[in-house]
Amino acid sequence: MTGDASRRAPGGRAASAPLMGKATEPTIFEYSAPGRRAWSLRTTGLPEWSAEELVPAAHLRAEPLALPEVAERDLVGHFTRLSHRQYSVDLGAYPLGSCTMKYNPKVCDEAASLAAFRDVHPATPPVGAQGWLQVLVELEEALCEITGMAAATLQPAAGAAGELTGLLLMRAWHELAGERRTRVVVPESAHGTNPASVTLGGYTPVTVGTDARGLVDRAALAAVLGPDVAGIVLTNPNTLGLFEEEILEIAQMVHDVGGLLYYDGANLNPILGVVRPGDMGFDIVHLNLHKTFATPHGGGGPGAGPVAVSQRLVDLLPGPRPVRVGDGYGFATPPRSIGRIHSFHGNALVLLRAWCYIKLNGGEGLRRVAQVSVLNANWLHEKLRGAYDFPFDRPVMHECVVSAASLKRETGVRALDVAKRLLEEGFHAPTVYFPLVVEESLMIEPTETESPETVAALAEALVSIAAEARAHAAAGEHQPAHDAPRTTPVGRLDETRAARKLVATFDARERPAD
């Protein structure tokens, strides 16, 4: 682990000691000193080889790679301190609207860590992976029962992959019928990624507006429907947290022009065991197992976005699919399959966690999940009355959307300021400025895994932030929320500049500009 001393830290200095109590944590290069090592035990049993013996001289670097030289004690302490600065669902409430950031039961993680599952290579022939195939088949059957669909693919690796898969299935269906359809309807209350997925699927997205109740405007929908419409993409409840009460009429309207209904599963959580997308008239349903079925997600980690379909689309599903074969399990590829969507059979350990979660809860338990998520959201919604605006003042489902528009006009404190100020109260910020149809929107989803005490504390924090802003405005004083967060490892960032002029390395400021 040799390194160039000039790259150890800004100015070439090394940290003299761990800075446990400091507000900032040094970079790993600042702990570097020439000759320091962390222990590594050889496990191969092979003799030592020099670089010159293994790599031709023409391919060797002229200078050592600029790596930090760090003792094991400093290395472990550095990364442990950094890990303690991260927020997660294991630390507290994560009320990101539309994301369904639940606590993940550790028993599901335990199941996924069993060697009998963990150590099986994905290319293992079916005869050597019967346990895995049983899990995958039973998971598909459970998801189909929950959604009211006929069959499903487990291949898509996340929600975005599931959305694309659904659009490709829609395209294949129409092409088999000899039709070329070019447009897909996307309500403005749909999930945020839907327009991009529609475009990636080769269609032109057509937006329809929201009526005074926060639901799909049926008159606007009727105006855009025609023989060139391949289908509609929506979620129910919608992104405003409201149930589309006229979904059966919407389904009939789309089916009457030969279109298909695609269900974005981002908001499946509040209807588990209560109502099924298939019974609403949907033809394609994607599910976010990393949301609804409590498997870890976020930060670029693995997800899972299975797609379930009605009977008439079963032959189009990606293959090969795990299936029952006699008394055992094997694979089969549907006769008109659109092909693979993901290598092997999806993110298997995420699928296993979801299977475990469903088995633990059972049908009645999943229904209870939906009921408590709706109860938590409505209780929180009512607690915020008077502190924030209600753009659609009616009962919500699993999430509530409130507005800081009046707060901004009265005090200058925006939705972004409220979110940053909430970080100082020990909560992760909610989704802000989405959905776009609500001015200064705060989209909050407490989830069913949070206790009444936690939801009450979240409500109290949000109400107190609004009261604080109004009190400072009345006194003509500077707004603390404009400086928030002040108690976190990293303060208020210039997010626009960060996106446009990214500083990707610790020493970028010291290098001459290009």
Nearest to 83 by CA among 299, 233, 405: 299
pLDDT reported for residue 20: 44
Nearest to 233 by CA among 133, 297, 165, 329: 165
* List of residues 6+ apart from 184 with CB closer than 8 A: 167, 170, 198, 201, 203, 204, 205, 206, 229, 230, 231, 232, 233, 262
Nearest to 254 by CA among 222, 276, 278, 286: 222
Q: What is the pTM of this model?
A: 0.88
Tens of pLDDT, residue by residue over 485-507, are: 999 888 898 888 888 888 777 66
Lateral strand order in the sheet of 260-265 = 151-153, 307-309, 284-287, 260-265, 229-234, 183-187, 204-208
pLDDT, mean of residues 128-139? 97
| Distance from C-alpha of 420 to C-alpha of 483, rounded to nearest angstrom | 9
What are all long-range contacts of 82-87, with beta carbons under 8 Å and residues at least 24 apart? 82/25, 85/25, 85/489, 87/428
Q: Are 466 and 388 in contact (CB under 8 A)?
A: yes
Here the tokens at position 54 are: 């293994």
What would the DSSP string read from start to end of 181-241? --EEEEETTS-TTHHHHHHHTT-EEEEE-B-TTSSB-HHHHHHH-STTEEEEEE-SS-TTS
Q: Give me the residues paired with residue 321 across strands.
A: 332
Q: Are 170 and 277 in contact (CB under 8 A)?
A: no
Question: Domain extents for the chain?
Answer: 5-83, 106-361, 366-500
| Distance from C-alpha of 495 to C-alpha of 420, rounded to nearest angstrom | 12
* 416 has pLDDT over 90: yes
| Distance from C-alpha of 447 to C-alpha of 426, rounded to nearest angstrom | 17
| Distance from C-alpha of 322 to C-alpha of 320, rounded to nearest angstrom | 7
What fold is seen in the domain 366-500?
Aspartate Aminotransferase, domain 1 (3.90.1150)
pLDDT, mean of residues 291-307? 81
Tens of pLDDT, residue by residue over 235-279, are: 999 999 999 999 999 999 999 999 999 999 999 999 999 999 999
User: By three-state DSSP, how is residue 322 classified?
Assistant: strand
What is the band of 38 on the pLDDT scale with cuts at 50, 70, 90? confident
What is the band of 344 on the pLDDT scale with cuts at 50, 70, 90? confident
| Distance from C-alpha of 94 to C-alpha of 455, rounded to nearest angstrom | 11
What would the DSSP string read from start to end of 362-412? HHHHHHHHHHHHHHHHHHHHHHTBTTBB-SS-S--SS-EEEE-HHHHHHHS
pLDDT, mean of residues 322-340? 96
* Residues 106-361, CATH architecture: 3-Layer(aba) Sandwich (3.40)
Q: Are 343 and 356 in contact (CB under 8 A)?
A: no
Average pLDDT, the chain: 90
pLDDT, mean of residues 454-474? 98
Q: Are 450 and 376 in contact (CB under 8 A)?
A: yes
Q: Are 295 and 357 in contact (CB under 8 A)?
A: yes
